């Protein structure tokens, strides 16, 4: 089921400060900030040779990462996204094995314009997993 690691997402309280750190001190290739109002985040992509890191800053009043940043005010690793070939097949297999899919279980369109689902961290050793059909 699991294919490539699509990205690791890091929630940050101050995107400009994080960009300065990754582009400057860490010498990484960093995209322009991209506000995604419908996802409640502004995102910056850090391009690595084999995958990418996404820095997420809350956007708007109902950001899905607001609660995480309340618990971790300095920021932290928020989730890992794996690619899957068929997200509905993956969902059905996970549910058959007793795993919880977040929300209503219907894939929504993720930040890359592709179908995504999130899995309950309590079922995966405290790790919030995103699945993306590529």
Active-site positions read 130
Q: Which is nearer to its own copies, 38 or 122 (CB)?
A: 122
Exposure string for 117-130, b = 16+ CB within 10 A, e = fewer: bbbeeeeeeeebbb
Could you tell me the smallest distance in angstroms from the CB atom of residue 34 to its own copies?
A: 18
Is residue 91 helix, strand or coil?
Answer: helix
CA atoms within 13 A on the CB side of 78: 28
Q: Which is nearer to its own copies, 21 or 66 (CB)?
A: 21
Could you tell me the smallest distance in angstroms from the CB atom of residue 108 to its own copies?
A: 21
Interface residue list for its own copies (CB under 8 A) = 1-5, 8, 10-13, 18, 21-22, 24-28, 46, 48-51, 53, 55, 72, 74-77, 80, 82, 93-94, 97, 99, 121-122, 124-127
Q: Which is nearer to its own copies, 83 or 109 (CB)?
A: 83
Distance CA 90, CA 118 (A): 11
According to DSSP, residue 20 is labeled H
């Amino acid at each position: 089921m699991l294919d490539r690691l699509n990205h690791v997402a890091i929630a940050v309280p101050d995107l400009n400060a994080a960009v300065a750190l990754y582009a400057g001190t860490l010498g990484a290739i960093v995209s322009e900030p991209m506000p995604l109002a419908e996802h409640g985040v502004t995102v910056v992509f850090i391009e690595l040779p084999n995958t990418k890191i996404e820095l997420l800053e809350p956007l708007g009043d109902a950001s899905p990462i607001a609660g995480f940043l309340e618990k971790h005010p300095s920021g932290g690793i928020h989730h890992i996204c794996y690619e899957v070939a068929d997200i509905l097949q993956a969902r059905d297999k996970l549910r058959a094995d007793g795993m919880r899919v977040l929300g209503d279980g219907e894939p929504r369109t993720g930040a890359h314009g592709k179908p995504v689902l999130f899995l309950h961290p309590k079922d995966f050793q405290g790790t919030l997993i995103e699945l993306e059909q590529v």
